[in-house]
Amino acid sequence: MKMTFSALDTSESSFTPLVVIELAQDVKEETKEWLKNRIIAKKKDGDNNDDFLTMAECQFIIKHELENLRAKDEKMIPGYPQAKLYPGKSLLRRLLTSGIVIQVFPLHDSEALKKLEDTWYTRFAFKYQPIDSIRGYFGETIALYFGFLEYFTFALIPMAVIGLPYYLFVWEDYDKYVIFASFNLIWSTVILEVWKRGCANMTYRWGTLLMKRKFEEPRPGFHGVLGINSITGKEEPLYPSYKRQLRIYLVSLPFVCLCLYFSLYVMMIYFDMEVWALGLHENSESEWTSVLLYVPSIIYAIVIEIMNRLYRYAAEFLTSWENHRLESAYQNHLILKVLVFNFLNCFASLFYIAFVLKDMKLLRQSLATLLITSQILNQIMESFLPYWLQRKHGVRVKRKLQALKADIDAALYEQVILEKEMGTYLGTFDDYLELFLQFGYVSLFSCVYPLAAAFAVLNNFTEVNSDALKMCRVFKRPFSEPSANIGVWQLAFETMSVISVVTNCALIGMSPQVNSVFPESKADLILIVVAVEHALLALKFILAFAIPDKPRHIQMKLARLEFESLEALKQQQMKLVTENLKEEPKESGKEKAT
Amino acid sequence: MKMTFSALDTSESSFTPLVVIELAQDVKEETKEWLKNRIIAKKKDGDNNDDFLTMAECQFIIKHELENLRAKDEKMIPGYPQAKLYPGKSLLRRLLTSGIVIQVFPLHDSEALKKLEDTWYTRFAFKYQPIDSIRGYFGETIALYFGFLEYFTFALIPMAVIGLPYYLFVWEDYDKYVIFASFNLIWSTVILEVWKRGCANMTYRWGTLLMKRKFEEPRPGFHGVLGINSITGKEEPLYPSYKRQLRIYLVSLPFVCLCLYFSLYVMMIYFDMEVWALGLHENSESEWTSVLLYVPSIIYAIVIEIMNRLYRYAAEFLTSWENHRLESAYQNHLILKVLVFNFLNCFASLFYIAFVLKDMKLLRQSLATLLITSQILNQIMESFLPYWLQRKHGVRVKRKLQALKADIDAALYEQVILEKEMGTYLGTFDDYLELFLQFGYVSLFSCVYPLAAAFAVLNNFTEVNSDALKMCRVFKRPFSEPSANIGVWQLAFETMSVISVVTNCALIGMSPQVNSVFPESKADLILIVVAVEHALLALKFILAFAIPDKPRHIQMKLARLEFESLEALKQQQMKLVTENLKEEPKESGKEKAT
């Protein structure tokens, strides 16, 4: 048999399987036996947690317990002398790195999933997502992503609604434009601040708002020479910091710069193509050549997507090779690398068109093509393609199973076979990145192309559904992760909105309508634009500072919680003092003597 | 007799008095008796804390204990039926507001003070201050101020050293200027970031780095209708938030605006005086009239100082009248009011000269006069005047005492009489404000007057000594307050350094030397200046983000602390589980039945 299910070994009747451990095909019997004993030994005092914990939380706990199965006196994995162990080493990590365990994943609960899908995306209607049910099934991190996606979509609606008439009627009216751009700026600040409050609201309800970062263990991929950790005093692999710095500054940094240069090089090729297409169109003004005008942008958009995806793999490889000890450091370095490249790759051509070529018509056309193409590509690549592959695979498995006529619990067996071949959801990184780039397209050049927000809203309404489909049907169920907020993405979105203030002010200052007001003195115009920009930036920071991060009623509840815990502490201390006083008389003589 | 010393009542031999409670002259005997009993009842189980706690900490604890003497079943203060009490009301606050207790203050320890003074300021030498001894004697908040003052002075030295040759030799050389200004900007960012690290270092050593904000009680001056606090569930005065908002927006805000307008009006009078003095000088070019040129600036500097001080009282009165429930809210509103006014009052004329009159010669002259006059005035008003008054008073008291020939412990009696008449130190607010304004003078227009840093350094070297004299000899010893950092001042200094980037870039862009490089296109010049400014601001934020707030070794120690506390928690939980397991067998039948 290809697999061992410890779940199938149990004899309880109403047993709901939660997590699957897939072992390699040729694992030795003694290894299986040892692993089973180690897991059972740990889980002997099992809890009864039907209602107390959500299913996602149970699976998170199982994952945590599995990752914390640690070597005691074993020197190696039984049956695999080459898979060395030392006291404290996580067994699961060694099993995974030795290729004995192929993967560990939680199972879907088809009944709960069906219920979730019904309220979530199958019946098409304009309604809120069942965020609390999503949290119950997938955990806080994924629920927060869907919460943010929904919030962001609704927040874009006013921009889309206000942008439409600008596109349809008053395209060339600069004074109304300034109003639109100012609204846009303040709006983008306010939505980010209000999100913080909404997020605090949600995570307070879920109990993760005050979640403390747990003490971090080294990440699975971290390797080094065995030594004594000066913090924990335990033996673990150590890797000198200067070596990591050398790798970062001598290899990663030059590589990233090279990639950025390559991206700019590709951009210049795109501009050559533009010139060529324009020349062709001007020579023979036909229907056919006017369509051709859009071809370079579409090709460039596709190339950008491909480059982003390729770079993503390279960045992951490099950051992993930098050998960071902590998962958080790894994530920070990865996100920084990816964000810088993606930002330049997606927006460099637009900045070049706007501020070097100063061709607003081309900017509008290029922005529209990039935005729409990347949205279509993303929807296809992310959801429908995997869904189609998945369906095909599902049919194949079912046919095979019917031929087998397996005598064990067929439904469960079929489910495991089906799900183990599903793709693995790699976290919310790519989803947030997509929203981040979309936010860039919408906000950076919003005053040139006010329709962008409308397209983004349209895309996001389908994105909610395709992402939901992806989570429920395309990927293996991911392990849930608790989280208190969207973390570094809040900072990324805020930075983007600062950059958008600068670019929008510059665009308005460059518009011929504004220039015609100051025909003789360009310097005065620039001074006024710069003054307005500084005022807007100052307003932005004051707003960000003045709007409290937590709504008042959450603040009150937290204050109450703090007060109650302090009171409890006080009472406990009083009790201790009283007990000490009772005991003291016996020892008072002794005390005085010392 | 005018006073009751509970200290003098005690019969212990080696007793060191720590805190004085000054009662009103006509307090009834029964009130004294009751108060003494209440204090003693609380302090019956006194600790032996000779070495364990610093003297400042002992005094802080006594203050805390006194403030937490709360009414139980008393309906009023015995002997004073009009001084009502309700359960939970702080006795000390009621005693102070009823005028029964005049003041509570800690006594100086003349021996320790002498030792401290010897290492601190009496022997003039360029050496570091004994920050740890200052912390031991005055507490963390004051020690942090002196630490910041010293750090800031040393941090200004490179700016002063680099500024000197610019003043002496290459005054008109714009390209070197750009270098000086850029250095200045990066320097001002770096020193503020490095201070955070130094501060973390100090407060880690003192054990206050991880200090948690304690649950705040209503501030003494807060009044309102008795009601149930929804957080604590206790009866206490409540004041509706909308009433406070009304007071803030309908009274305080218009008043502040009026003051700002008045300050600008005074500024315009100053400019009229300047024009008048210049006219007089041009009519009769004599020695006498060239001195007269400086008179308007000097008068204006004195008027600014007077307005700042008057406004300070008004702001305190208004903020107190706004009736904030928490001391922190009160402080934030006060600091905001005072900072905005002081900033405008001190710098508006300089901004006007720089960007409206565009008269760099007048700017330099005005800046120099304002800086130097305000420094001299501050030194006189803050330290030497009170010191002189204090000395005169001391001689008078001694003469009186010799006439009295008091038979009780004369030295202690004399000390208390002397110290109770000393001024009260109102906290570090004014000292930080002075440094903040100085930082403004030095950084905002540094490229016009590079000598400013040198004057600031000179001033600060004497400021250390005069502030030390003030703390040790002029004021009553203040109660110590623990603190983890310099709080809102960090933000204020950082904001100032952002503003200084903008003004310095604008000044460089306006200089005739830079303008002569772009003779035909002023617009190009402005664009370049704006681009440089944006790049510097971006660099500033990246620097602030990239420099960790805590030094690596502190991070390591904190991580170790966190690890150890988590380990201890784990062991405690393990113990509980083991105990539960031992008890379980007896109840196992019962458990299964439920």
**Measured between alpha carbons, how far is A182 from A500 in angstroms, rounded to an integer?**
11
Cβ within 8 Å, pair A527-B522: no
Q: Which two tokens stand for residue B454?
A: 């040198």
Q: Pick A231's closest partner by Cβ from B215, B534, B560.
A: B560
pLDDT for residue B107 is more than 70: yes
Using one digit for the tens of pLDDT, what is the confidence trace for A254-272? 999 999 999 999 999 999 9
For range A42-65, the mean pLDDT? 67
Average pLDDT (B305-315) is 91
Cβ–Cβ contact B534 with A under 8 A: yes
Name the minimum distance, in Å, from the CA of A503 to any CA of chain B.
Answer: 12
More confident of the two residues B438 and B327 = B438
Q: How many helices (H) and strands (E) does chain B have?
A: 22, 6
C-beta separation of B73 from B26 below 8 A: no
**8 A C-beta contact, residue B335 and residue B429:** yes
Segment B123-172, tens digit of pLDDT = 655 678 888 889 888 988 999 999 999 999 999 998 888 888 777 776 56
Give me the mean pLDDT over the A136-163 stretch: 90
Q: Give dist(CA A249, CA A253) in Å, integer.
A: 5
Establish if A593 touches chain B: CB-CB under 8 angstroms.
no
Minimum distance, in Å, between the CA of residue A526 and any CA atom of chain B: 7
> Which residues have a Cβ under 8 Å from the Cβ of B162 and sit 6 or more positions away?
B180, B183, B450
For B209-243, b/e burial (b = at least 16 CB within 10 A) is beeeeeeebbbeebeeeeeebebbeeebbbbeeee
Return residues 546-565 of B near A (CB < 8 Å): 556, 559-560, 562-563
Residue B342 has what pLDDT?
93
Q: Do B231 and A566 touch (CB under 8 A)?
A: no
> In Å, how far is B381's CA from the nearest CA of chain A?
35
Q: Which residue of B has its CA nearest to A561?
A: B231
Q: Which of A502, A526, A556 sits opposite B523 (nearest CB)?
A: A526
Is A527's Cβ below 8 Å from some Cβ in B? yes
Contact B231 A559 (CB under 8 A): yes
Q: What is the mean pLDDT of residues A332-357?
A: 91
Q: Beta strand A225-228 with A235-238: parallel, antiparallel or unpaired? A: antiparallel
Task: Please give the average per-residue pLDDT across B92-101, as a whole number.
Answer: 82
Q: Do B562 and A215 touch (CB under 8 A)?
A: yes
Task: Let me know: does B97 contact B88? Beta carbons within 8 Å.
Answer: no
Please enumerate in sequence order all residues whose Cβ is within 8 A of that of B366, keeping only pairs 6 or more positions apart, or say none: B297, B349, B350, B353
Higher pLDDT, A64 or B10: A64
Predicted confidence at residue B590, as pLDDT, reads: 41
* Subunit contact B230:A527, Cβ cutoff 8 A: no
Average pLDDT over residues B437-461: 86
And the tokens for A335?
């996100």
Nearest to B530 among A232, A530, A560 (CB): A530
pLDDT exceeds cutoff 90 at B266: yes
User: Chain B contacts of A230, Cβ < 8 Å?
Assistant: 556, 560
Q: Is B139 left (phi over 0), alpha (psi -120 to 50) or beta?
A: left
Determine contact, residues A23/A101, Cβ cutoff 8 Å: yes
User: Which of A237-246, A420-429, B48-57 shows the lowest per-residue confidence on average (mean pLDDT)?
Assistant: B48-57
Give the mean pLDDT of B535-564.
Answer: 84
- Residue A352 confidence class, pLDDT cut points 50, 70, 90: very high
Using CB atoms, pick whichever of B231, B523, B581 lies closest to residue A522.
B523
Q: State the DSSP H helix or E strand holding residue A77, giving kind and residue range, or none if neither.
A: strand A76-77
Map residue A377 onto helix, strand or coil: helix
Shortest CA distance from A558: residue in chain B: B231
CA distance to partner chain A, nearest, from residue B33 (Å): 27
Q: Quote the pLDDT of residue A7.
A: 41
* CA distance linking residue B304 with residue B308, whole number of Å: 6
Cross-strand partners of A227: A236
ipTM above 0.85, yes or no: no
Residue B110 binned pLDDT confidence (cut-offs 50, 70, 90) = confident
- So what's the pLDDT on residue A151? 93
Per-residue tokens: A165: 């008439």
- 0.90 surpassed by pTM: no
For tokens 């109102």, name the residue: B426
DSSP letters spanning A462-510? HHHHHHHHIIIIIBPPPPP---SS-THHHHHHHHHHHHHHHHHHHHHHH
Residues in chain B closer than 8 A to A523 (CB atoms): 522-523, 525-526
Output the pLDDT for position A405. Answer: 59
Q: What tokens does A381 get?
A: 């690549």
The DSSP-derived string for A339-360 is: HHHHHHHHHHHHHHIIIII--H
- CA–CA distance, B138 with B225 (Å, rounded to integer): 38
Chain A residues lying within 8 Å of B232, measured CB to CB: 560, 563
Q: Could you report the per-residue pLDDT of B270-281, keeping only the tens digit for each?
A: 999 988 888 888
User: Is the pLDDT score of B592 beyond 60?
Assistant: no
Q: pLDDT exceeding 90 applies to what percent of chain B?
A: 16
In angstroms, the separation between the Cα of residue B405 and the nearest Cα of chain A is 40
Look up residue A476 and give its two tokens.
């293996």
Taking CA atoms, B430 is separated from A78, A345, B146, in Å, by: 71, 51, 13
Q: Does A215 touch chain B (CB under 8 A)?
A: yes
- Stretch B396-411: mean pLDDT: 66
Q: DSSP string covering B213-265, please?
A: PPPPPPPTT---EEEE-TTT--EEEE--HHHHHHHIIIIIHHHHHHHHHHHHH
DSSP B447-474: TT-TTHHHHHHHHHHHHHHHHHHIIIII
Question: For residues A472 and A116, is the Cβ–Cβ distance under 8 A?
Answer: yes
Task: Using the predicted structure, report yes or no on whether residue A393 has a pLDDT greater than 90.
Answer: no
B76 vs B438, more confident? B438
Query: Whole-angstrom Cα distance, residue A498 to residue A495?
Result: 5
Q: If 0-12 CB within 10 Å is exposed, 13-18 middle and 19+ buried, where does residue A145 land?
A: buried
Contact of A530 with chain B, judged by CB distance below 8 Å, is answered with yes
* Residues paired with B21 in a beta bridge: B104
Question: How many Å separate Cα A432 from the centre of its chain?
Answer: 5
- Reply yes or no on whether the pLDDT at A191 is more than 80: yes
Does A592 have pLDDT greater than 50? no
Secondary structure string (H, E, C) spanning A513-558? HHHHHCCCCHHHHHHHHHHHHHHHHHHHHHHHHHCCCCCHHHHHHH
Residue B230: its chain A contacts at CB < 8 A? 556, 560
Tell if the CB–CB gap between B534 and A502 is shorter than 8 Å: yes
Q: Measured between alpha carbons, how far is residue B272 from residues B265, B275, B276, B283 in Å?
A: 11, 5, 6, 17
Per the CB < 8 Å rule, is A523 touching B526?
yes
Question: Cβ of B594 under 8 Å from any chain A Cβ?
Answer: no
Average pLDDT over residues A159-173: 74
Tell me the nearest-neighbour CA distance from A494 into chain B, angstroms.
13
Cα-based distances in Å from A28 to A90, A100, A121 = 20, 9, 45
Residue A12 in this model has a pLDDT that exceeds 60 = no
* Dist CA B130 CA B48 (whole Å): 27
Quote the mean pLDDT of chain A: 81
- Alpha-carbon distance of B534 to B540, in angstroms, equals 10
Q: Please indicate whether, in this complex, the C-beta atoms of B502 and A566 are within 8 angstroms of each other.
A: no
Name the least confident of A23-27, A304-308, A337-341, B87-91.
B87-91
Mean pLDDT of chain B: 80
More confident residue, B519 or B554: B554
Q: Are A537 and A188 contacting, i.e. CB atoms less than 8 angstroms apart?
A: no
Report the pLDDT value the prediction gives residue B586, as an integer from 0 to 100. 45
Whether the predicted pLDDT of A26 surpasses 70: yes
Nearest chain B CA: its distance from A120 CA (Å): 38
Query: Are the beta carbons of A560 and B230 separated by less than 8 Å?
Result: yes
Instruction: Kindly report the nearest CA distance between residue A522 and chain B, in angstroms.
Output: 6
Contact residues on chain B for A231, CB-CB shorter than 8 A: 556, 559-560, 563
Selecting from B230, B527, B556 the residue whose C-beta is nearest the C-beta of A231 gives B556
From B238's Cα to the closest Cα of chain A, the distance in A is 15
Distance CA A127, CA A46 (A): 40
Q: How far apart are CA B541 and CA B495, in angstroms?
A: 12
Q: Using an 8 Å CB-CB cutoff, list chain A residues near B562.
A: 215
CA A35 centroid distance within chain: 33
**What part of B 286-305 touches A (C-beta under 8 Å)?**
none
Q: What is the pLDDT of residue B101?
A: 84
**CA torsion, ordered B227, B229, B235, B241, to nearest 10 deg:** -40
Distance CA A564, CA A573 (A): 14
Lowest mean pLDDT among A3-7, B215-219, B242-246, B508-512: A3-7
The answer to whether the Cβ–Cβ distance between A215 and B526 falls below 8 Å is: no
Taking the C-alpha atoms of B368, B370, B371 and B375 in order, what is their torsion angle to the nearest 10 degrees?
A: 140
Best of A534, A563, A582 to mutate (most B CBs within 10 Å, chain B): A563
Task: Say whether B522 and A523 touch across the interface (CB within 8 A).
Answer: yes
- Vertex B387, ends B381 and B390: CA angle to 5°? 125
Dist CA A437 CA A341 (whole Å): 12
CA pair distance A245, A251, nearest whole angstrom: 10
Interface of A with B in 466-525 (CB under 8 A): 502, 522-523, 525
Q: Is the pLDDT of residue A8 over 50?
A: no
Residue type, A68: N
Lowest mean pLDDT among A3-17, A155-169, B216-230, B465-479: A3-17
